[in-house]
Amino acid sequence: MSSIAIDSHLHKAIRFYQASIGKKAVMAVTGVVLFGYLVGHLAGNMQVYLGAEQMDKYAAFLHSMPLLLWSVRALLVASVVLHITASLQLQKLKLDARPAGYVKKEAVDSSLASRSMIWSGLMIAAFVIYHILDLTTGAAGAVQFRELRAYENLVYSFRRVPVSGFYILGMVLLGMHLYHGLWSIFQTVGFSHPRYTPVIKRLAAWVAILMAAGFISIPIAVWTGLVGSNL
């Protein structure tokens, strides 16, 4: 492919992204990537109910493939950065379109989840950073961190009430963010119909609730002794 053709495609891509639809497309694609990761992450976390041996074996398996592990991490970081950047730029476009603002702002045809997407997204990002420092690197842990002892690290971490509370709050915000984000993806790709949109919204709500509940169940299981009672 010639340099002229490459430049032409590059300029088209830049022009596409400069429009609001381009930013929405980036948010949709990166949202799908991040949702896929969340599904896999939840499936991995659920292994805590199978005991320490299985959980630690799972952690060791992931770290046995460093190239794949770091490739996934790089993709996730890129997706998060692009998702947040496109979101903030979209918000700026909306504000620029209404420079005078409203005398009285009313929430018409919007939900709490949709109105708080920016703030919930930023708070989730802050939570993820702490969560990584706490359970992946051990840099933020108040207890002794042991490499590849995922079960033990998780139990000792969640026994700290502030950490569990912060985690649960993060998962509630994640559920709200997922609900609005999932059905918005269908709108972005042009799938919007009075007959089907309510069904999509209900499905998005159930997926968001079930995923948030799955994550939240883990600190509750630690508190109640269902998980980690032998430590």
Domain chopping of the chain, boundaries: 3-96+109-224
pLDDT of residue 41: 92
- Residue 189 CA: distances (Å) to CA of 22, 48, 181, 185, 206: 11, 37, 13, 7, 21
Identify the CATH number of the domain defined by range 3-96+109-224: 1.20.1300
User: pLDDT tens for residues 117-160?
Assistant: 777 777 788 888 887 888 777 777 656 778 888 999 999 989 99
Query: pLDDT tens digits for 58-83?
Result: 999 988 998 998 899 899 989 999 99
Q: Which of 151, 166, 174 is nearest to 221 (CA)?
A: 151
Which residues have CB under 8 Å from 31's CB, separation 6+? 83, 181, 182, 185
Q: Residue 107: which pLDDT band, with cuts at 50, 70 and 90?
A: very low
Question: Of the candidates 131, 126, 148, which has an alpha carbon nearest to the alpha carbon of residue 41?
Answer: 131
Contact status, residue 117 vs residue 181, Cβ threshold 8 Å: yes
What pTM did the predictor assign? 0.83
| Tokens read off for 143 | 């207890």
Q: What is the DSSP letter of 110?
A: -
- ∠ CA 85-193-98 to the nearest 5 degrees? 40
Task: Output 142 or 191, whichever has higher pLDDT.
Answer: 191
Would you say 114 and 180 are in contact if contact means Cβ atoms under 8 Å apart? Answer: yes
Quote helix, strand, coil % in the chain, to nearest 5.
80, 0, 20
Structure tokens at 49: 């109910």
Count of beta carbons in the 10 Å neighbourhood of residue 176:
20
Identity at 158, one-letter amino acid code: F
> DSSP class of residue 118?
H
- CA-CA distance, 14 to 22, in Å (whole number)? 9
- Contact 42/217 with Cβ under 8 angstroms? no
